[in-house]
Amino acid sequence: MSKIGLIAGAGELPVEFAKSAVNQGKSLKIYAIKGITDKKIQNIAPTQWLYLGEGQKLIDSMKADNISDVVMLGKIEHFHLIKSIHRFDKRARTFFNQLMDKRAKSILEAVLKELQKEGFNPIDPTPYLSSLLVPEGLIAGEYPEKHFIEDAEFGLKIAKEVAELDIGQTVVVKDKIVVAVEGLEGTDKCIIRGGELAGENTVVCKVARKNQDMRYDVPVIGTKTLKSMKKAKAKLLAIEAGKTFLVEREEFKKLAQKYGISVIGFDLSNI
């Protein structure tokens, strides 16, 4: 039986994948990042903890563990890379310096190629996480007024262009004005900044890239997203159906109801 290696970043998604893989009887080894990966993941399957940038140690460990398939899940913010670069090993530093640019897509595609070069097979995790994919239509909260839907449709188109430029996957809009675009700071700070600039009743739009490679950087929403929206007094979370993972679904729905936030999945081919 092939053995899966999970390179786990931050958030619930790697945890959900680990649970699903183990429940399906797969042989799994987790490679977690100190200070980034949720510690509870180590209760699911054998786990090795590494510092961000220990590239050679990761490769050597996966070979020693007879890993064949590899999955990369969970967020590693750009600022983590910048903060940790001083402790990168020779392999990671050389890899990083040879990149054409340091956009998320460029880094992750290069990592996949590096893993393939070493004989590993990067696999699509979607079959293990299909239950988490957001459907089209109302997901949580009440259906909002028409002008919020119009803002969402406007914002989703803009977000798609921004995602394709690999700047970010989220924009915040109000009255068909783009008030915040996700950059280095990540989704949550973008949402809060949008609220600071435009006040209450903003619409948060989150999308996947065009031709999204489901093996990396698929958009994720969860309770943390809603908490940031509450802080910003945002009204609607508009997301791309079929290309966004929703974690902590039941708690998420309860929280959306409590905060008065609407959450809707949109089929972008209909916009």
C-alpha–C-alpha distance, residues 9 and 6, integer Å: 9
Q: Is the pLDDT of residue 191 over 80?
A: yes
pLDDT in tens, 192-214: 999 999 999 999 999 999 888 88
Among 110, 128, 146, which residue terminates a domain? 128
Q: For residues 243 and 256, is the Cβ–Cβ distance under 8 A?
A: no
More confident residue, 88 or 230: 230
C-alpha–C-alpha distance, residues 187 and 221, integer Å: 10
* Residues 266, 138 share a domain: yes
H-assigned helices in the chain: 13-23, 55-64, 78-84, 90-97, 104-117, 126-129, 146-164, 187-198, 223-232, 249-259
C-alpha–C-alpha distance, residues 266 and 241, integer Å: 5
Among 128, 144, 169, which residue terminates a domain? 128
- The residues with which 206 forms a beta bridge, in sequence order, are 170, 239
Picking from 112, 52, 56, 37, the residue whose alpha carbon sits closest to that of residue 82 is 52
All residues at 6 or more sequence positions from 165 whose CB lies less than 8 Å from its CB, including other chains: none
* Residues 137, 119 share a domain: no
pLDDT in tens, 7-61: 999 999 999 999 999 999 999 999 999 999 999 999 999 999 999 999 999 999 9
Quote the pLDDT of residue 96.
83
Q: Say which CATH number the domain at 109 has.
A: 3.40.50.20
Among 128, 149, 165, which residue terminates a domain? 128
Q: Is the pLDDT of residue 238 over 90?
A: yes
Quote the pLDDT of residue 1.
66
* Residues 139, 116 share a domain: no
* Residues 138, 241 share a domain: yes
* Residues 182, 246 share a domain: yes
Section 86-103 average pLDDT:
84
* Residues 153, 43 share a domain: no
* Residues 95, 164 share a domain: no
* Residues 124, 244 share a domain: no
* Residues 55, 161 share a domain: no
Number of domains in the chain: 2
Q: Is the pLDDT of residue 73 over 90?
A: yes
Q: Is the pLDDT of residue 233 over 90?
A: yes
Q: Say which CATH number the domain at 257 has.
A: 3.40.140.80
Quote the pLDDT of residue 86.
77
Average pLDDT of the chain is 93
* Residues 142, 17 share a domain: no
* Residues 68, 8 share a domain: yes
- Buried/exposed code over 150-176 (b: 16+ C-beta within 10 A; e: otherwise): ebbbbbbebbbebbeebbbbbbbbbee
Q: What residues make up the domain containing 229?
A: 133-270
* Residues 224, 109 share a domain: no
pLDDT in tens, 100-151: 777 777 888 888 899 999 999 999 999 999 999 999 999 999 999 999 999 9
